[in-house]
Amino acid sequence: DVSGTYSDQRAEVSRVVKREVLPELLPGDTLLLVRIDSQSYEKENLETLVTLDSRPSRANAQKLAFADALDAFASGTTRSDYTDIPGAMMLAGEYLRETGAKSRVILVFSDMQEDLEPGSKRHFEATELAGTHVVAMNVKRLERDQADPSRFRGRLDAWGERVAAAGAADWRSFMDPTKLADYLESVR
Length of the chain as a residue count: 188
> Angle at Cα 152 formed by Cα 8 and Cα 165, nearest 5°?
105
pTM of the model: 0.94
133 forms bridges with which residues in the sheet? 105, 170
> Angle at Cα 46 formed by Cα 40 and Cα 49, nearest 5°?
150
Q: What is the DSSP string of 40-53?
A: -SSGGGEEEEEE--
- What Rg, from alpha-carbon coordinates, does the chain have? 16
pLDDT in tens, 105-119: 999 999 999 999 999
Nearest Cα to 87, choosing from 52, 116, 51? 116
pLDDT in tens, 31-84: 999 999 999 999 999 999 999 999 999 999 999 999 999 999 999 998 999 999
CA distance 10 to 23: 19
